[in-house]
Amino acid sequence: MLSACSALNDTERYFALLKAWWGRRNNALIGEPTRRGGDLTAQVIDFAKQCLTRGCPQIEHQDAMSGLKYRPGLVNLALLELFGLFEIQVMPPEEGQGWRPNAIALTSWGHALLGTLVEARHQAGATNLAALASTILTAFDFDHDHLNRFSYQNRYGQTVEIDHSALVGETDNAVADEVRIGDLSLTEGQQIEFRFDFGDDWRFGILVERPEAGPVPAAPLILETHGEAPAQYGEG
């Protein structure tokens, strides 16, 4: 691994490190807590969109600092600066206070790269997974009053699970109403499982297809149906 890294030029090393952090980072590896509310893509792109549209937050009170700890997270914010995407001024050090950003601004490189990713995310789908779950259940004429979970394997073979919002605190998984479809790193032909009602254990298969050109619908649509849906609670 060291010899392979040594063979890369500076640009190749930069993008190899950026790709590794963007696609494979795990806060637990460095002793940081795992936070719910989406993966790194969601956290960073939401923060970048705020900076692009409303300006980056200026840390004038404790509430703003608390927000940064949650999204994008102080570790991620520091890495965004190391990768040259943000410029950050910090408050003078004080005993027991830790690292405290003060002024945050996008660099020209950060504006170009993150701006492209924000737009790509919008084109990929801004609807959250809770809306997709509701659409699936409506298509089958099922009641919506049970827990559910989406799961799929990412490109590294890791199982990613996104839970119903009522499961907050029960697991470390992200929750469906905070994760947009465009946040997921999916490829054409990939399978997603939607599990509904953990008692009766309904399982639905979702096949990822290539997005069609044109405007992105504001919400999931039922385009066509085939056959008769099964009864949710048996024959009656």
Residue 183 amino acid letter: D
Q: How many other C-beta atoms lie within 10 A of the C-beta of residue 80? A: 24
Please report the pLDDT score of residue 37 as a whole number: 46
Q: What is the DSSP letter of 128?
A: B
Please report the pLDDT score of residue 44 as a whole number: 82
Separation of alpha carbons 30 and 96, rounded Å: 20
Separation of alpha carbons 186 and 191, rounded Å: 9
180 beta partners: 128
The candidate with the shortest Cα–Cα distance to 181, out of 131, 144, 116, is 131
Domains and CATH numbers, the chain: 2-123 (1.10.10), 126-207 (3.10.290.30)
Per-residue pLDDT 10s for the chain (236 aa) are 778 888 999 999 999 999 888 776 666 666 666 555 446 666 787 788 889 988 888 777 666 677 787 778 888 899 999 999 999 998 888 888 888 888 899 999 999 999 988 777 666 566 889 999 999 999 999 999 999 999 999 877 889 899 999 998 888 888 898 888 877 878 889 999 999 999 999 999 999 988 776 676 767 888 888 888 999 987 65
Under a CB-based contact definition with an 8 Å cutoff, are residues 110 and 86 in contact? yes
Q: What is the DSSP letter of 19?
A: H
Under a CB-based contact definition with an 8 Å cutoff, are residues 166 and 177 in contact? no
The alpha carbons of the chain give a radius of gyration, in whole angstroms, of 21
* pTM exceeds 0.85: no
